[in-house]
Amino acid sequence: MGARRPRRREQVMTATARPRVGFVGLGVMGSAMAGNVLATGAFEVGGFDIDADRRRAFAEAGAVAYDDLAALAAASDIVLTSLPSAAAFAAVLDGLAEHARPGTVVVETSTLDLRTKLDGAARLAGAGIEMLDAPVSGTGAQARTGDLIAYVSGAPEAIERARSLVEAFTRAHFELGDVGKGTLMKLVANHLVAVHNVAAAEALGFAQDLGLDLRQVLAAVGDGAGASRMFGVRGPDMVQGRYEPASIRMDVFAKDLEIIGTAAAEAGTATPLFDAARAVYRDGLSDGLVASDTAVVFEVLRRQPRPNEPAPSGRRESTSITDRKEQP
């Protein structure tokens, strides 16, 4: 910790050298963030993913694709991680702790539980590496246009070194204090995402039953007090029945929901709206909508029994989401 490591690293770089940034995890979010950083021309951008096709696409976009994590870690001044699970994070930690040089800053953008983040930061600190807990808020589509918010927490010196990188792929970022505060803020944000997404789906279903043109609903309601970011971002997909390719998959978001539920229980917070919304996502997963975008909760709600209708015995009958015609 302390300021000596960053100064030592800066002495290694020439006055004209661009910071070398390595992206670990080139999925929907990681590749989009890397693309925006690459477009600035201010950084040397490399990347690694266990998926060879993702590495190939990354190289075709003009960045350097590494065949292994060790090579990326050794070559990078700053490493940004965008990972799907705690298990993936643990595997990457092993590689970074062994191969990244002391003084490297790791910007960890994944949505993981607080204990995993704190343990990871401590593990890297033991190797002389500073980790920033910096999860991002936004969808894959928003990531492609740089419309992300980052919740950055960690040592001020590390934040200073990473600030220009974070600004390259976000619309705004918030510097929140000690490691872990970023994750806590992201849990609050995703709590609202979960509820607002289901609320948007329910409202559009209501409008459909009233015989309204759903495109007009998107324009008129979206311009009023009832609007939300999820109504604007997910609403068009709901209206068009467009759920693949997913900007965020149902099974991936389910992991976030479990983290939020656990954190709320530990905090002693009553979450009746979140609990009701989570039940809708669980119904969708039970119906096999694992790889669909989370906008598919619109279909999940439309399948549910109507008021005064008897609930079908046993499991609800699932209908194909492709059966619903796009609104005229």
Catalytic residues: 186
66 CB-side CA count, 13 A? 20
C-alpha span between 222 and 226 (Å, rounded):
7
What residue type is 266 in one-letter code? E
Answer whether 166's CB lies under 8 Å from 107's CB.
yes
For the chain, count helices (H), then strands (E): 14, 9
Q: Which is it for the CA torsion 249, 250, 251, 256, positive or negative?
A: positive
- CB neighbour burial string for 227-262, b if at least 16 within 10 angstroms, e if fewer: ebbbbebbbebbbebebeebbbbbbbbbbbbebbbe
C-alpha span between 169 and 134 (Å, rounded):
12
